[in-house]
Structure 1
Amino acid sequence: MPRLIASLAEIAADYDAVFCDLWGCLHNGYTPFPGAVAALQAFRAQGGRVVLMTNAPRPRGAVAAQLDRMGVPRDAWDLIVTSGDATQLALFSGDYGTRVGFIGAEKDESFFTDLPADLWAAKIERVAIPEAEVLLCTGLAQDLTETPEDYRLHLAQARNVGLTMLCANPDIIVDYGDKRLWCAGALAQAYEKLGGEALYFGKPHPPIYDLARRQLGLDDPRILCIGDGLWTDVKGGFQEGLDTLYVTGGISAHEFGPVDAPDPARLEAFLSREALPATYAIPTLQ
């Protein structure tokens, strides 16, 4: 059973850095959560480092610009590390081939253009799926209206030519305001069910944590992973041997009763059923 806390400040002194999720934890896709912003600002004010770790398939620059437009102040974070960043390192290495089939939205085009200066980039050619050597998936092209079923033909084409899918966002679903949208992870799951191979670079998989540690640059830091995704934030932190703070009022809030007062018995039963222990739990980040 995780220890239920009321604020990050209760445990902040025990950590040098936090890996903090964005969607459902810091914002809802439209606006930031004031309590979460204040908690991260206070953590930094006492000397902690805040790494915003997100399964967004876009590079960190695009995410920073999105946070600016949303009104998340820059003094609430130190670094941004995205699943898109980790996937870029893999794709532009050329290790999976240079002819790339692409499934994703227009908003994800920065994946191909916003490259870090220190990244040696193989020359990538965008081609139709049947002519590709590798398949990149950042999400659904029209995630407000489409479902994974709309991509059955594309996925079957990729499987038929034996493409490995690089999944730039392992999330299955995300809450965008009051809407629930499908993410790239759902397409990767569908691809695997068809017999295709998918590789994942965001939470809970190691590449994004390896990248975050390198970017953080601290010797043996005490790190706390924060997020509302049990199968991403909590699972990833647990697999990395890190403490976790589970935000119960996020994507699985319906499991625990009142959002501001989760039922401890229901929380314990849920975590036990999923066999994913969290170190701490909190209704909302504050």
Structure 2
Amino acid sequence: MTLPHALSGLGEIAADYDILLCDVWGVIHNGRESWPDACAALTRFNQQGGDVVLISNSPRPSSDVVAQLDGLGVPRDSWRAFVTSGDATRAELAKRAPGPAWIIGPDRDWPLYEGLDLARAEGAQDAAFISVTGMVDDETETPEDYRDQLAAGAARGLELICANPDRVVQRGDKLIYCGGSLADLYESLGGRVTMAGKPYGAIYELAVAEGETLLGRPVDRSRVLCIGDGVITDVLGANRQALDCLFIAQGIHGDAAKGPDGRLDPARAAALLEAETTYARYAMLDLAW
């Protein structure tokens, strides 16, 4: 088992990178409040000549999520560009217009579909495919609440497009199920799933393109660092793209990577990574400079 190098702060390695592809939920906020030390670290990276590209599995277009970041107190100078799973997924949905699409998710995610001319189906019986952003009510529902409905879609051989590959996120002190957990259930029922967010390649193509625009030249991929707390999204995505990764081990994993002294235990962090056959070059409990 290869241990990640434990960092005391991002400043130890900042000079080695031109671009940070930084996760959002679980790294710089928890859905209810932003974390000042994490935001300050990104701001300082930008100030010292680097460029931060936020890369999120939010199912909404990035232009629609900026107001959420502002509301949570994430400073605009902590990032230079923003790419979401919603941005990458819109291209997949456009290929399948006019559908009709059986849409599962809360009303707040409707901007994902604006301008795509998709007809809306009432359920599996009259749909050409399924589009999932998450639970309709993620405060109370679990994937099991959708088992019977999704089984009907799988029986018809409908493809499911999942706009948010995250399985869970932390909202305050609660873990909330996301679209990826519905996609997992659908696959277990024999259904076919397509995703464009992390860890899949489409979202990284968009993010690297944003980095090239910021730099004004091609990106040297050896000088790109991915930062995230999701092992099967952020870390796996970095591994698939052959990019260095800083694993934020506290995020959705709570205290699992802490040692008896309350500090990061690299062996415990490595165990979390190895369980999903992934590796991170660096690890911290929380992002800070």
Shared fold per TM-score greater than 0.5: yes
Gaps of 5+ in 1: 116-120
Contact 1:224 1:244 in 2 (8 A): yes
User: For 1:251 and 1:33, how far apart are their aligned partners in 2?
Assistant: 15
Aligned residue number for residue 46 of structure 2:
44
1:92 partner SS:
helix
Aligned residue number for residue 118 of structure 1:
none
Aligned residue number for residue 64 of structure 1:
66
Per-residue displacement from partner, 1:162-211 (whole Å, max 9, x unpaired)?
Answer: 21000101111111001111110010011011111001111111111112
1:252 partner SS:
coil
1:226 Cα deviation after fit:
0.1
Per-residue displacement from partner, 1:81-129 (whole Å, max 9, x unpaired)?
Answer: 11111101110133x762111010111111122x6xxxxx5x3111122
Aligned residue number for residue 193 of structure 2:
198
Quick one: which amino acid aligns to residue 132 of structure 1?
A
Aligned length: 278
Matched, 1:132 2:160: no
Contact 1:15 1:48 in 2 (8 A): yes
Matched, 1:220 2:219: yes
RMSD: 1.6
Quick one: which amino acid aligns to residue 235 of structure 2?
V
1:275 Cα deviation after fit:
2.5
> What are the equivalent positions in structure 2 for 1:145-164 lying under 5 Å apart?
145-164=140-159
2:207 partner SS:
helix
Query: Normalised by the size of structure 1, how large is the TM-score?
Result: 0.93
2:95 partner SS:
coil
Residue 135 to residue 234, structure 1, CA distance change in 2 (3 Å): same
Contact 1:168 1:184 in 2 (8 A): yes
User: For 2:6 and 2:186, how far apart are their aligned partners in 1?
Assistant: 38
User: For 1:152 and 1:248, how far apart are their aligned partners in 2?
Assistant: 31
Comparing 209-218 with 130-139, which one deviates more in the overlay?
209-218
Residue 278 to residue 125, structure 1, CA distance change in 2 (3 Å): same
Contact 1:260 1:284 in 2 (8 A): no
Contact 1:22 1:54 in 2 (8 A): yes
1:81 partner SS:
strand
Quick one: which amino acid aligns to residue 82 of structure 1?
T
Residue 89 to residue 260, structure 1, CA distance change in 2 (3 Å): farther
Quick one: which amino acid aligns to residue 127 of structure 1?
A
Quick one: which amino acid aligns to residue 74 of structure 2?
V
Percent same amino acid at aligned positions? 44
> What are the equivalent positions in structure 2 for 1:250-269 lying under 5 Å apart?
250-257=251-258, 261-269=263-271
Quick one: which amino acid aligns to residue 241 of structure 2?
E
Query: Normalised by the size of structure 2, how large is the TM-score?
Result: 0.92
Contact 1:51 1:80 in 2 (8 A): yes
1:85 partner SS:
helix
- In the alignment, which of 21, 24, 29 is matched to residue 22 of structure 1? 24
Aligned residue number for residue 166 of structure 1:
161
User: For 1:30 and 1:167, how far apart are their aligned partners in 2?
Assistant: 24
1:260 Cα deviation after fit:
5.2
Quick one: which amino acid aligns to residue 193 of structure 2?
A
Structure 1: which 4+ aligned runs deviate by more than 4 Å? none
Comparing 17-26 with 267-276, which one deviates more in the overlay?
267-276
